[in-house]
Amino acid sequence: EKEPHLDLLRIDETVARRQVEKLSAVKHRRDAAKVKKALGAIAEAARGTDNLMPPILDAVRAYATIGEICDTLRGVFGEYQESFS
């Protein structure tokens, strides 16, 4: 059977570059101490049994990025490794 043709979404380099510049500007304007404190609160909650949503929301309000939040969680939980047994 013939596979269907898929149109791939291609992002223009200027759009990608503009997004990187916007992210850089946000990181420059935010309060780095608040971000660090918020990410620390996520790690602390993740090591215990606390609800993770409140510290994650605090981190978002402090302008932490999704990547920074995920890196913090990976630092506590590790990265999922599929087992092939």
pLDDT band at 85 (very low <50, low <70, confident <90, very high): confident
The pTM score is 0.80
pLDDT digits (tens, 9 = 90+) for 61-79: 999 999 999 999 999 999 9
pLDDT band at 59 (very low <50, low <70, confident <90, very high): very high
Res 84: pLDDT: 85
Res 2: pLDDT: 83
- The full set of domain ranges for the chain reads 31-77
Letter string b/e over residues 45-64, b meaning 16 or more CB atoms within 10 A of that residue's CB = bbeeeeeeeebbebbeebbb
Task: Return mean pLDDT, the chain.
Answer: 95
> How far is CA 25 from each of CA 60, 74, 75, rounded to the nearest angstrom?
16, 25, 26
